[in-house]
Copies of this chain bind each other. A is one copy, B any other.
Amino acid sequence: MNNRISELFGIEYPIVSGGMVWCSGWRLAAAVSEAGGLGLIGAGSLHPDDLRLHIRRCAAATKKPWGVNVPLMYPQIDEVMKIIADEGVKIVFTSAGSPKKWTSFLHDHGVLVAHVVSSSLFARKCEEAGVDAVVAEGFEAGGHNGREETTTLCLIPAVRKATSLPLLAAGGIATGAGILAARALGADGVQIGTRFALTQESSASEAFKARCLELKEGDTKLLLKKLSPTRMVKNPFFDAVEEAEARGASADELRDLLGKGRAKRGIFEGDLAEGQLEIGQIAADIADLPTVADLMDRLVREYREALEKDYSL
């Protein structure tokens, strides 16, 4: 094996499934790992007790490497980290916070650490914090997103220059051709969210998945910039946020409008009107709901086909 990401995590293909709220349970994570990628359980939408359950089920479902994504602003973060250590998790992807606080704790417990960034400034901070790999995620990604709005095409070369760490590109990648583009830009591998959210094994509701398959270009947009910028699908809830922002609503007003549990309502419960439907721009290019095994086969086949083409000038 010749790929830094595959070598680091002991996997067959440098393809990671993102830890997406309400999509990335043990079933999706185990399926991705069984198919030769690296599956992540998304801790962000799991109660600590449920996280423990998902970790145990994932460990029972596959002997291949898998990991957990932990958003560092998680309220019971200490409890989550204790569970990860107790359960012997070997790989953690941290996001939405500083990599400084938890990297050495995780290393002390024998855990490999990757951290998700949206700028080369934070990529340098990852290197200082001693993380093992960096995920650089661009503006086109679904859900929570960077303030700089840097797209994957612009972000990957910048992060590649800023750090020598193994690098995963994220945001807007859903095909083998997209993986090749990411590697041409300097990434060693990819973290794929949206494409894995729209598989059989994703724990999102069928209504959410069906809605995402219908999306066209321009049907998602980054809103809530006065709180935490979030890419979501246009629906009546989206319209209410957009209307409030257009008239200059304050952060407090937006917080009230958002309320609690909007993403669960949209993604997990399938309330297509009043839920917050988080998905990436590349959903517009996705039209089916394959099993993870079929999708991984397809990504690898497409990648090899893209690589075989004649790109001579």
Contacts and interface: CB of A to CB of B under 8 A. Distances in A.
A252 interface: no
Contacts of A178: 153, 157, 185
B172 A181 contact: no
20 contacts: A2-B312, A140-B151, A147-B218, A148-B217, A149-B218, A149-B281, A150-B217, A150-B218, A153-B173, A154-B172, A154-B282, A155-B217, A158-B284, A177-B184, A177-B185, A177-B186, A180-B184, A181-B184, A184-B311, A307-B311
A221 interface: yes
Contact of A151 (B121, B151, B303): B151
Contacts of A246: 226, 248
A131 interface: no
Interface of A: 2-3, 6, 13-14, 119-121, 138-140, 147-155, 157-158, 161, 171-173, 175, 177-178, 180-186, 216-218, 221-222, 226, 246-249, 281-282, 284-285, 300, 303-304, 306-307, 309-313
Total copies of this chain within the assembly:
2
Nearest to A12: B313
Given A161-B285, A180-B184, A307-B311, 13 more contacts: A2-B312, A14-B313, A148-B217, A149-B281, A151-B151, A153-B171, A154-B217, A158-B284, A181-B182, A181-B185, A248-B248, A300-B313, A307-B312
Nearest to A247: B248
